[in-house]
Amino acid sequence: MKNLKEYNLEELKQELISLGEKPYRAEQIFNWLYKEKIKNIDDMTNLSLSLREKLKQTYTMCNFEILQKQESSDGTIKYLFDVLDGNAIETVLMQYHHGKTICVSSQIGCKMGCKFCASTGIAFVRNLTAGEIIEQILAVEQDIGEAISNIVFMGIGEPFDNYENVMKAVRIINHPKGLEIGARHISISTSGIVPKIYDFANEELQCTLSISLHATNNEKRSQMMPVNNLYKIEDLITACKDYIAKTNKRISFEYALAKDNNDNLEDAKALVQLLKGMLCHVNLIPINKIENGKFIKSNNENIIKFRDYLNEHGIVATIRRELGSDIDAACGQLRRKNLK
């Protein structure tokens, strides 16, 4: 069976044509999927009964089942979804004053091996499909009965290691006839897959690009993030500069502060040197300690000092509010789960 949510509008039109149907039927189906947000082909009531039956022979809706739902005292909700092949992934809903944000996963597991991240250490299984990325949003919206305003690709997985599917999902999420979430409300975070940063600069998408930087020299960054052995900081920064020049968009650099590792004044100075003159913003994340992890959170005083130093030296920096840490839903705490 094929998943109806795997197709963009053009592809869905081709599917309908190959079934001997008029292409406008695809627009109707798209409307049911992304505007009416129905769960069953049977509910597509402006399609004839015979067409609905015909569709059901080849297509499914691949609705995720909620296996577990945990709610934090701050309103954050962590979902464990059954992705229908014996695996489960986590998706997080965060509630801010300005709206609801979903942190989506892009892969089942992750290959990047960042030393501070809970997604490390459990084997990588596979990429999520575009339909499975979109379904995380639909399933949460269905559960809370409200629309989502922002999407961040900061759940399990490396979005740029699943580039094609992520780009396809983003375009359906953004499409006026799709979920119609503005590209400016979509952020994609990468650990620094340099060639894909060049590709992304050419996508003509208005999404925010976030770069997980976390350190200012190769020695320290390689200790935290093995991807740095492949793509060095100099090459990463060159790619970021190219992206900014091509798109005129601000990059958001993520920097997780770990006590006595990357959180002292020398590190702040080096960060200013590295990012000086770039159109960017620094997002400081108090690192969340993971089980058996060697990195521990900087103290608040240090975090504030670090932020103030950056701000005083021309780099706009903010401290990310921690949400959902009491239910293991904060940055870096998500894991893939296997049901088998």
- Catalytic residues, by residue number, are 90, 331
* Residue 97, CA distances (Å) to 14, 85, 94, 146 in order: 41, 36, 10, 15
For residue 154, state whether it binds ligand SAH (rule: CB under 6 A).
yes
Figure out which of the listed residues 212, 216, 262, 298 binds ligand SAH, where binding follows CB under 6 A. 212
In angstroms, what is the minimal distance from the CB of 332 to ligand SAH?
2
Figure out which of the listed residues 26, 332, 335, 336 binds ligand SAH, where binding follows CB under 6 A. 332
Figure out which of the listed residues 6, 135, 158, 267 binds ligand SAH, where binding follows CB under 6 A. 158
Figure out which of the listed residues 254, 263, 267, 328 binds ligand SAH, where binding follows CB under 6 A. 254
User: Which phi and psi angles does 82 have, rounded to 5°?
Assistant: -85, 115
Looking at the Cβ atoms of 5 and 335, the one nearer to ligand SAH is: 335
**Coil, helix or strand for 217?**
coil
Binding mask 57-86 for ligand SAH (x = CB under 6 A): ------------------------------
Beta bridge partners of 2: 59
Looking at the Cβ atoms of 3 and 298, the one nearer to ligand SAH is: 298
For residue 15, state whether it binds ligand SAH (rule: CB under 6 A).
no
Figure out which of the listed residues 30, 32, 116, 163 binds ligand SAH, where binding follows CB under 6 A. 116
What's the DSSP call for residue 47?
Answer: S
- Side-chain half-sphere of 93: how many Cα atoms within 13 Å? 27
For residue 187, state whether it binds ligand SAH (rule: CB under 6 A).
no
**Residue at shortest CB range from ligand SAH:** 332
Neighbour count for residue 304 (Cβ, 10 Å):
13
Looking at the Cβ atoms of 15 and 254, the one nearer to ligand SAH is: 254
Q: Which residues contact 7 (CB under 8 A, 6 or more apart)?
A: 15
Figure out which of the listed residues 88, 117, 140, 240 binds ligand SAH, where binding follows CB under 6 A. 117
Strand blocks (E) in the chain: 2-3, 59-60, 65-71, 77-82, 87-96, 99-103, 107-108, 126-127, 150-153, 186-190, 208-212, 251-257, 280-286, 317-319, 337-338
Cβ-contact 189, 152 below 8 angstroms: yes
Measured distance CA(34)–CA(172) in Å, rounded = 9
For residue 262, state whether it binds ligand SAH (rule: CB under 6 A).
no
Figure out which of the listed residues 89, 207, 256, 303 binds ligand SAH, where binding follows CB under 6 A. 256
Looking at the Cβ atoms of 3 and 228, the one nearer to ligand SAH is: 228
Binding mask 270-289 for ligand SAH (x = CB under 6 A): ---------------x-xx-
For residue 191, state whether it binds ligand SAH (rule: CB under 6 A).
yes
Q: Which residues contact 86 (CB under 8 A, 6 or more apart)?
A: 338, 339, 340
**Coil, helix or strand for 254?**
strand
Q: Pairing mode, if any, of strands 77-82 and 65-71?
A: antiparallel
What residues make contact with ligand SAH under the rule CB under 6 A?
112, 114, 116-117, 154, 158, 189-191, 212, 254, 256, 285, 287-288, 290, 331-332
